[in-house]
Homo-oligomer: A and B are copies of this chain.
Amino acid sequence: MPKEELRQTPRTKLVRNHRRAEYDREVVNDIIDATPMCYMSYIIDGRPYLTPTFQWRDGDTIYWHGSSASRFLRQIVGKEVCMVVTLFDGLVLARSAFHHSANYRSVMLFGEATQISDEDKDEHLKKFVDNLIPGRWETLRPMTDKEVKATTVFSMPIDEGSAKIRTGPPVDDDEDYELPIWAGVLPMKQVLEAPEPDPKNLAGLEVPEHVRNFELGKHD
């Protein structure tokens, strides 16, 4: 019988220096690797901002990128940011409104945004594409210097933050289990549909294997 489980790793316990932290890091990495989508919180002129973007992990470091012209990216150089990666896994329907909940896996990371130098950007952008859509990079027209310059890549170490996971059915008040109210979980997930070819593709081009077999999440 499934049990409700709410796990939260303690903050600032992500460095690899004792057994508990090793476990936390595995939980954190699994969530980060399950989806490329993330959200970044940062401060400009004392006001909170939020930008959805894509992240990729390489060992103990997390990366994100964007246009060098972006206000978001120009403002956060060397500044503290907060990144959240969340997968909503379901709606939890309880016998009372109060105990309704959501099943999810979520990681919150804190760190300073370090800008990657021009010389190293190429390598990281290749890793981003390889991580997101393995097999695609080598099929593409190579990046130009101008394009590399127009792209900013940031990193921060995965060493401060926490993971939070909720799974399982609702947890109701004891006496409410006797009520004839349907309770349970509505599972939710992000899925991919059939690829839509660009109408401008050259005639006869088939959907390549790396697109046909594409799955969201890290591929190692």
Bound together, the chains give a CA A78 to CA B176 distance in angstroms of: 36
- The answer to whether B183 and A201 touch across the interface, beta carbons within 8 angstroms, is yes
- The answer to whether A133 and B2 touch across the interface, beta carbons within 8 angstroms, is no
Q: Which residues of B contact A59 (CB under 8 A)?
A: none
Chain B interface: which of A13-21, A23-31, A100-108?
A100-108
A69 within 8 A of B: no
| Interface residue total, chain A, C-beta cutoff 8 A | 89
What per-residue 1/0 map shows which CB atoms of A77-106 lie under 8 Å from chain B?
000111110101011010111101010101
For residue A179, which residue of chain B has the nearest CB?
A: B141
Q: Which residues of B contact A202 (CB under 8 A)?
A: 178-180
Contact of A97 among B39, B125, B170, B191 (CB under 8 A): B125
Bound together, the chains give a CA A95 to CA B176 distance in angstroms of: 57
Contact of A191 among B140, B147, B188 (CB under 8 A): B188
What per-residue 1/0 map shows which CB atoms of A158-182 lie under 8 Å from chain B?
0000000000011010001111111
- The answer to whether A188 and B193 touch across the interface, beta carbons within 8 angstroms, is yes
Q: Which residues of B contact A41 (CB under 8 A)?
A: 41-42, 48-50, 82
- The answer to whether A140 and B95 touch across the interface, beta carbons within 8 angstroms, is yes
Interface residues of A (CB under 8 A from B): 1-2, 37, 39-43, 46-52, 54, 80-84, 86, 88, 90-91, 93, 95-98, 100, 102, 104, 106, 108, 110, 125-126, 129, 132-133, 136-137, 139-144, 147, 150-151, 169-170, 172, 176-202, 205-208, 211, 214, 216
